[in-house]
């Protein structure tokens, strides 16, 4: 039984994509070539690695064992490559980073830029996901490092604090709650004059932060009517300023936008809004040198004094 690194990489892609077609695309192979390689692995093993079904494929018990070891082998090869290139012309490699919306938009640009400037041969693939999917992705080896809310299921992961960034209401200054010290989502609905409906300015459909807000509203029997959906937190606040509706954004985004926009900020009292951001990995010893550098960079951000954190935030805004 002889599997090469291309076989192992392809098999990981197939399982993560849920189909041989998707795996072939990720591996930059033709479907025929990918199918032949998968069949070759199964023939060499003498056992099926994938269960084929109408929606795609899923790994068999043997396939899950291969997946586990394939990830270990490729991680070790990446670590070997990283350590050897440090003897050459500088750190080189590729890091897969999974993070939630507020981390991507507010907290990540400065530490990530610092790392990439210091290591020109390093590349980072950043993928935005809901916090629960970030944690699961890191656990499954789909990302080297994750940044997510502490409300996610983090069992089995090494965690370090990253940033505290509670969600806040952003309101037109003419809104009835604009002068409130704090508010719940239910209070906001009661003040709207037409509960349980809320006129909202939101992020694009499918955005993890917006999905969280919608899910929590639904659990409370509230209905969100999105008057407009946009792609950035800045655009949400700008439309709120124009009186289009109300928004829910991370505190750092609300504070930054309030410096140049006529909006009111009101802390949300709902438990789900008080989120603490964590950075997580499966294990520090498993990280390749380039991923280790990013891990150190992100955990150093958490340890920075408040004044430094504010300067970094201003630089990224």
Tell me: do 22 and 40 sit in the same domain.
yes
Q: Is the pLDDT of residue 245 over 90?
A: yes
Alpha-carbon torsion, ordered 106, 241, 201, 186, to 10 deg: 100
Spatial contact of 145 and 279, defined as CB atoms under 8 Å apart? yes
CA–CA gap between residue 75 and residue 316 (Å, rounded): 32
Spatial contact of 147 and 98, defined as CB atoms under 8 Å apart? yes
Which whole number is the average pLDDT over 138-148?
Answer: 91
CA–CA gap between residue 207 and residue 130 (Å, rounded): 8
User: What are the CA-CA distances from residue 256 to residues 132, 134, 265 (Å)?
Assistant: 27, 26, 11
Tell me: do 63 and 152 sit in the same domain.
no
Q: Is the pLDDT of residue 310 over 50?
A: no
Task: Please give the helix or strand (H or E) that residue 18 lies within, else none.
Answer: none
Q: Is the pLDDT of residue 281 over 70?
A: yes
- Which residue range forms the structural domain that includes residue 205? 167-273
Of 13, 21, 19, whose CA–CA distance to 50 is shortest? 19
pLDDT, position 185: 92
Residue 79 belongs to a domain: no
Q: Is the pLDDT of residue 91 over 80?
A: no
Phi/psi of residue 168, each to 5°? -130, 155
Percent of the chain at pLDDT above 70? 90
The model's pTM is: 0.66
Tell me: do 158 and 280 sit in the same domain.
yes
Alpha-carbon torsion, ordered 79, 85, 90, 91, to 10 deg: -10
Q: What pLDDT, in 10s, does the model give residues 193-214?
A: 766 678 899 999 888 889 999 9
- With tokens 């070891």, the residue in question is 69
pLDDT, position 306: 41
User: Minimum mean pLDDT among 29-33, 91-95, 168-172, 278-282: which range?
Assistant: 91-95
pLDDT, position 169: 97
Tell me: do 219 and 248 sit in the same domain.
yes
Tell me: do 155 and 113 sit in the same domain.
yes
Would you put residue 56 in left (φ > 0), alpha (ψ -120 to 50) or beta? left
Q: What pLDDT, in 10s, does the model give residues 37-68?
A: 999 999 999 999 999 998 899 999 999 999 98
Tell me: do 223 and 256 sit in the same domain.
yes
Q: What is the DSSP letter of 271?
A: G
pLDDT, position 195: 62
Q: Is the pLDDT of residue 278 over 90?
A: yes
pLDDT, position 35: 94
The per-residue pLDDT of the chain, averaged, comes to: 87
| CATH code of the domain covering residue 282 | 3.40.190.10
Q: Is the pLDDT of residue 261 over 90?
A: yes
pLDDT, position 304: 61
CA–CA gap between residue 31 and residue 23 (Å, rounded): 9
Residue 142 belongs to a domain: yes
Q: Is 151 helix (H, G, I), strand (E, B) or coil?
A: coil
Q: How many domains does the chain have?
A: 3
Tell me: do 177 and 266 sit in the same domain.
yes
Highest average pLDDT, of 70-74, 82-86, 118-122, 243-247, comes from 243-247
Tell me: do 290 and 160 sit in the same domain.
yes
Residue 80 belongs to a domain: no
CA–CA gap between residue 266 and residue 135 (Å, rounded): 29
CA–CA gap between residue 222 and residue 197 (Å, rounded): 6
Tell me: do 90 and 232 sit in the same domain.
no
User: Minimum mean pLDDT among 82-91, 189-198, 204-213, 248-257: which range?
Assistant: 82-91
Phi/psi of residue 32, each to 5°? -60, -45
CA–CA gap between residue 129 and residue 178 (Å, rounded): 31
pLDDT, position 90: 55
């Amino acid at each position: 039984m002889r599997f090469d690194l291309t076989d192992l990489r392809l098999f990981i892609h197939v399982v993560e994509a849920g189909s041989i077609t998707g795996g072939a695309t990720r591996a930059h192979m033709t479907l025929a070539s990918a199918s032949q390689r998968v069949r070759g692995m199964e023939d060499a093993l003498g056992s099926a690695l994938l269960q084929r079904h109408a929606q795609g494929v899923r790994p068999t018990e043997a396939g899950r064992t291969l997946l586990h070891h394939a990830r270990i082998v490729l991680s070790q090869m990446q670590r070997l490559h990283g350590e050897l290139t440090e003897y050459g012309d500088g750190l080189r490699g590729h890091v897969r980073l999974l993070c939630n919306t507020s981390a991507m938009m507010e907290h990540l640009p400065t530490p990530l830029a610092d790392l990439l400037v210091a290591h020109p041969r390093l590349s980072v693939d950043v993928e935005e996901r809901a916090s629960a999917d970030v944690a699961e992705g890191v656990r499954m080896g789909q990302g080297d490092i994750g940044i997510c809310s502490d409300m996610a299921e983090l069992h089995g992961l090494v965690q370090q604090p990253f940033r505290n960034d509670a969600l806040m209401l952003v309101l037109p200054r003419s809104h009835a709650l604009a002068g409130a010290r704090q508010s719940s989502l239910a209070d906001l609905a009661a003040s709207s004059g037409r509960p349980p409906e809320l006129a909202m300015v939101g992020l694009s459909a499918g955005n993890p932060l917006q999905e969280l807000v919608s899910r929590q509203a639904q659990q409370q029997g509230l209905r969100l009517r999105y008057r407009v959906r946009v792609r950035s937190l800045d655009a949400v606040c700008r439309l709120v300023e124009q009186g289009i509706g109300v928004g829910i954004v991370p505190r750092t985004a609300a504070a930054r936008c309030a410096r140049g926009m006529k909006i009111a900020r009101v802390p949300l009292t709902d438990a789900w809004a008080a989120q603490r951001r964590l950075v997580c990995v499966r294990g520090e010893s498993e990280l390749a040198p380039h991923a280790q550098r990013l891990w150190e960079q992100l955990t150093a951000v958490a340890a920075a004094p408040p004044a430094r954190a504010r300067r970094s935030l201003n630089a990224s805004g």
